[in-house]
Amino acid sequence: MSSRTDEAMIGVIAKSDQAAAVEEFFQLFKTPWEFYQPGRTYDVVVVTSDDVPEVDARLLVIYGANLRTIDARIGVAARARRRGGSLTYRSSQLPVYGELLTFEERDAAILRVSTTAEAAGLRIHGANITVMRLGYDLFDEVCYLLSTGQPPDNAHIPTLDVHITMLREWIVGAEITLLEIPAAPAGYSFAVSLTHDIDFGGMRSHLFDHTMWGFLYRSTIGAVRNLLRGRLSMSRLFQSWRAAASLPFVFVGWAKDFWEPFDWYLTVERNLPATYFVIPFKGRPGDKVAVPHPSRRAAAYDLADLAAGTTRLLREGCELAVHGIDAWHSVERGQEELKRVAGVNGKASIGIRMHWLLFDQKTFRVLEEAGFAYDSTVGYNETVGYRSGTTQVFRPLGARALLELPVHIQDGALFYPERLDLSESEAWKRCSSLIDHARECGGVLTTLWHDRSPGPERFWDNFYLRLVEALRLLDAWFATAGQVVGWFRKRREVSFERVEGSDGAAQTRLRYHGEEILPPLTVRVHRSSSTFVDIPWNGGTAIDVLRSAAPAATVVGSSL
Ligand SMILES: [Zn+2]
């Protein structure tokens, strides 16, 4: 089916090696665009190439650290050039990772270097055109974010989402009607994907191994230290000691296994579908593990030992996915790992997250070739936030079908003494700012809580409970990792095409040929910087973009 509108089409003139980054950027900022074609008229032209042609547009956005011939003509002069920097846009921070050019001061600096206040972005008003001149290359930044990713120090900044916000604000600020499909289902502000990595599979599998001795130490001496640091209550200290004392009875089966992985989560997450990443093979540490103590990476449980639990999870609407060992570097091993978990959950479409979050530049191609539908490894072990600078599901550069569900909040990163080592109130502040951003920009908030985290000696249960209850109160769409990725995949499949209207004016047509989109997408028409109209669209029926509410953006639906 298709629909058409008569709002802005963006023409993009990029460097020849930036096509993939451009395409991915406009999958995230889902708005009509095309590579610039001479002779066509555009309301907005975005340029990163060195040559800026004469364009007939209302808004020209020029990105790049090289001076262009047009700069002299519009009165832009260079001040200094450097590699990387931290900029301030309104109240947002914006790290730049590539080359950065600052400009001689003019009346309309819109973006400044945070430390020196030098102008790094200018707005220049011409007679019929507004020019935005930015001292960095947008698509080089996108490429960096989606491949290398942000250093942990900048994890808290949703850099890629800020880039999208800026471009959107400049377009609607120039009073250009803009159509987009926001990154959240109709009726929701954002999605939530609750996930769990099953690393341990219960205490019972750990008789006399490194994990058991570590637990004994941390639940006794470590617990006293945590009491003294104010991180553990007296009652939790006694609970720790009781758990340690109960160990022999746990191993012989007379006492409850306090690391039983599923019961607690199923209670706390009642009616919320979660995704459990399970290790497919027992006793395999994996190859090419270039971090200390690689042997500790081997799982002590076999998937078959968890059969009662995994059956129950599937009955409750949860998802089982692969917690990969060798899939990140070997197609053949990946296929083996996929097959083992597919045998348990009976699904054709399976996702993966690598154990210990191992990956390299080739991982996405390897996973795709092995047959995985999505990956959810891109995140941090040492902190929380946005490695790729976004809340959105994206396609890693170089992949064809595989999508990435980024991980944002991880229990161990928040609380381990050798990681962020936060108190609960400090951790709450970090999580709140991530939630606030998701509510504002959409996308998905992905949480990762490990199987043994609610029990002794970690006791990260109350914090998680509070987090889930807080999220329940918001207008979030809770879905499994696979469902969230599926929704974003359908959003990606919507395309915009430019057609000539009966009056000769350029119009945009929405195309989608897949299954019904549930929950529906939102087609949003920005009429000005302060008003927009939202129309829910499930991709299957013709829509008329509220003629009455948005007369300048009439969408006529027609079945193809
Ligand atoms: Zn793991």
3-state secondary structure 512-531: CCCCCCCCCEEEEEECCCCC
Mean pLDDT of 360-378: 97
Q: What is the pLDDT of residues 48-67, one digit of tens each?
A: 999 999 888 999 999 999 99
8 pLDDT above the threshold of 80: no
pLDDT-derived band of residue 7, with 50, 70 and 90 as boundaries? low
- What pLDDT does 554 receive? 41
Where on the phi/psi map is residue 148: left (φ > 0), alpha (ψ -120 to 50), or beta? alpha
- What pLDDT does 494 receive? 94
Find the 296 Cα to ligand 1 centroid distance in Å: 11
Find the 161 Cα to ligand 1 centroid distance in Å: 28
Find the 316 Cα to ligand 1 centroid distance in Å: 23
For the chain, percent of residues with pLDDT exceeding 70: 94
Mean pLDDT of 512-541: 90
529 pLDDT above the threshold of 90: no
| Ion ligand 1 residues within 5 Å by Cβ | 197, 199, 355
Find the 319 Cα to ligand 1 centroid distance in Å: 17
Find the 70 Cα to ligand 1 centroid distance in Å: 53
Q: What is the pLDDT of residues 463-479, one digit of tens each?
A: 999 999 999 999 999 99
For residue 61, what are the β-bridge partners? 46, 132
Cα 369 to the chain's mean position, in Å? 22
Mean pLDDT of 321-346: 96
Q: 378 near 387, Cβ under 8 Å?
A: yes
541 pLDDT above the threshold of 60: yes
> Where do runs of H (alpha helix) occur along 346-444?
363-370, 411-415, 424-441
- What pLDDT does 545 receive? 46
Find the 297 Cα to ligand 1 centroid distance in Å: 8
- Average per-residue pLDDT for the chain: 91
> Beta strand 351-354 with 374-375: parallel, antiparallel or unpaired?
parallel
Q: What is the pTM (predicted TM-score) of this model?
A: 0.94
Find the 409 Cα to ligand 1 centroid distance in Å: 14
Q: How far apart are CA 448 and CA 424, in angstroms?
A: 16
Find the 356 Cα to ligand 1 centroid distance in Å: 5
Both tokens of residue 420? 């962020």
pLDDT-derived band of residue 548, with 50, 70 and 90 as boundaries? very low
Q: What is the pLDDT of residues 263-319, one digit of tens each?
A: 999 999 999 999 999 999 999 999 999 989 999 999 999 999 999 999 999 999 999
Where on the phi/psi map is residue 187: left (φ > 0), alpha (ψ -120 to 50), or beta? left
- What pLDDT does 505 receive? 65
Quote the Cα angle for 364-369-371, to 5°: 100
| Dihedral sign (CA 193, 449, 351, 28) | positive
> Where do runs of H (alpha helix) occur along 229-306?
234-245, 247-252, 263-268
Name the amino acid, one letter, at 366: V
- What pLDDT does 552 receive? 41
Find the 172 Cα to ligand 1 centroid distance in Å: 44
| Dihedral sign (CA 341, 345, 348, 352) | negative
Q: Is 230 exposed, middle or buried (0-12, 13-18, 19+ CB in 10 A)?
A: exposed
Find the 351 Cα to ligand 1 centroid distance in Å: 14
